[in-house]
Chains A and B, each alone.
Chain A
């Protein structure tokens, strides 16, 4: 369908389910109430690293109202994990971070459950802890997993340990090119752990059905992986496990990594339901959640770049220490991505970067919004600014000088198809008033760019059922957390079927009925479910046209659907209602059921043939630094994004603004703080600071069109990329304001003030 013909795509209709949410209908996981349900609770390790000598549950079991107490011994002795299969659902023999689940109870009331947890006697033998990921690789560091081998690419010579992921980027001859550079800049950057802090706590509910099946309700972003892992952990076949997705109050990747995300809350709940022979529901307390669920990991990044006097980059080398936490989680993938992105998205002909994902005694890394990207971009884009300053070049000119064009390759991408990077830089300059804005004392202007990938990973399906009245019911495998299912999918289906958006209902995921999907992760909602839904709607339309053709005495190719009427193009009088044809289907094909699938192999092949058209972005801001307090106030913030064809314009803007806000939070205040023993010092919202309206600038979003992506109608993913530039953008503006470059996050008042004092500027 040509762009000019699009009637709905690119507009901003009211979100499906919006009214339910503003009137307070209980649509979320936390609003569930199963008949006769018990309350589950989890006992968590109070040590970051310790041997479990013994667990005595006898006293807890005696408390009236306690129906089940479980430990690792009550579950099959199997482990889960994505790359390293390194974790039991309840700690077995050892705990590896404070918050590691050790035992669980199900009781009549939350108070009784809490009381029972206190009566479980666990004897620990504390072990030394590894907190810093770089230190943890050294031979004298404590060993976290005795039976996990080093990645095959690392020599087992005893020089490195605790590593679960090793990524190497190698292009050209970086050492030779570095030696020939006019200027070499060598720096170290570091980001800290943040928690995604979706507002709705993690829940799980489970009940055994009379026929021996286990039903699990989860507010997880990936219901099918939850089903697969829950079944494996409890020794059940997949056809005997049903996962129903409850509505999600935010996720941001924190709920995205199967059972890892919630620290196995789903199989633990299932185990309790099996043992108690009653339905059980677990709701995590927010402080409990901060210490036990998956996070955006911190990274230490060594980055060194050689440039010619004219600003041409000739070489980059680097090293990444990426924090997996106590188990591998999503750390291997995120650390690999961070390593790749440290190579930047500019023309860099020679590059060598080594990345290590390292076990430490901390919370486990999850695929939190742009896993690995925001960390790498803080280093890359601060570093670019630093090089420009040393060259005496304007930071934007330095970037534009090294910007790739169509047909070029960048680190990790063999060939680019369309490259919007330069245009986003130019628009951001214009929008922020680069070189024009009048800056007062202690005010500064900064810019940072970013990119993100969206092509990796499995596909997923869609089923479009046309009902007798012409309305449509859609099954997809992605959940609604303010993302594509409630916004873009109804629009795509309505566009292809010529019906109003309000006539389309997209159902939440039920693994018994929905098509398989890897989950609402990786900016892939539009690519996977958007693409699949479009094909499913076209399939349904073809079925309708085939049946209507006879009635209308026309070829199916000559038909169209306008205002719920199937009619002959150019002869509107020859028409039949969509509802009539859908009803008549009962006697012909049973029902109009369109099927579609996002074929990932085809996407990969197309990218290989024609190049990648990945999204690019540039953010720019003006800040004011209070040199007395170290406080940084953002006065103006612009975000320029190429996301291809926007599907739901307001939703796309909302994704960008929300993602930017999350990284602005990481830039200015967010951090999970640890003491030397690995104890989280700020688990509750009282101490874990997040952006409120007071500290947020108005984000001025511009969507750049004309660079079509691989998704339906040329759309690209929009959920994560805006997390990439903000941290460096703000750090660069602080440098512009004060001449001080801060290389460790967050840029909190105390850290800024300390840096200013060290530089004699405060």
Chain B
């Protein structure tokens, strides 16, 4: 059974139909052909598919596309302002936090959501915010560096 899904993605109204069993990740990647959100575990464990959904980070692989009707969604493609990267994106590039880069979009969305909530995150805030994102390349060191750098830049401390 096909359903029509109306959402606002990265500020633009989007209307498309998909099978009722489609996950939000499949809807974004396969129906809308926006490939930035990543498919990995498909069980909500790794965070590679994270988007910001009505202001909160969620795993799109375990969210039904049909439930997103009327939702406002920001994906990794919606962060940069033209050629100007969002401070979180820029910080990931600058600190060497992007190794293979496959977990990066999910991490960036989780961190953006964190820094939308607080300008000066504590170590505990950071740990809590990205505890649902797995990175297999970095051992998390450079990612933590990136989060601090982004927070400092957003707050005008760096």
Give the B-binding residues of A (Cβ under 8 A).
12, 14-15, 17-19, 21-28, 30-31, 33, 196-201, 248-252, 283, 285-286, 481-483, 650-651, 653-654, 657-662, 664, 684-686, 690-694, 696, 698-699, 701
Contact = CB atoms under 8 A, between A and B. Distances in A.
A648 to B, nearest CB: 8
B38 A12 contact: no
Given A14-B94, A24-B75, A690-B136, 6 more contacts: A22-B101, A24-B35, A31-B35, A482-B100, A654-B96, A654-B138
Given A650-B142, A654-B99, A699-B141, A23 B43 contact: no
B40 A200 contact: yes
28 contacts: A15-B98, A18-B93, A22-B93, A23-B36, A23-B77, A23-B80, A24-B36, A198-B100, A199-B40, A200-B40, A200-B102, A201-B40, A249-B101, A283-B39, A286-B41, A481-B99, A482-B137, A483-B99, A650-B95, A650-B96, A651-B99, A653-B141, A654-B142, A657-B142, A664-B139, A685-B41, A686-B41, A692-B131
Interface of B: 33-43, 45-46, 48, 75-77, 79-80, 85, 89-90, 92-96, 98-105, 108, 126-127, 130-144
B151 to A, nearest CB: 16
A658 B21 CA distance: 37
Interface centre among A17, A24, A654, A660 (most CB of B within 10 A): A24
A692 B129 CA distance: 12
Contacts of B93: 14-15, 18-19, 22
Nearest to B132: A692
Nearest to A22: B89
A7 B148 CA distance: 29
Nearest to A639: B139
Identify whether the interface residues of B are mostly helix, strand, loop, or mixed. loop
A25 B36 contact: yes
Given A250-B137, A657-B141, A285 B102 contact: no
Contact of B141 (A22, A198, A651, A698): A698
Identify whether the interface residues of A are mostly helix, strand, loop, or mixed. loop
A199 B139 contact: no
Contact of A23 (B85, B130, B138, B141): B85
Interface centre among B40, B108, B143 (most CB of A within 10 A): B40
A33 B126 CA distance: 36
A252 B102 CA distance: 13
Contacts of B140: 657, 661, 693, 696
Contacts of A690: 134, 136
A15 B93 CA distance: 7
Contacts of A481: 99-100
A661 B141 CA distance: 10
Nearest to B48: A199
A28 B48 CA distance: 13
A201 B39 contact: yes
B53 to A, nearest CB: 16
A685 B103 CA distance: 15
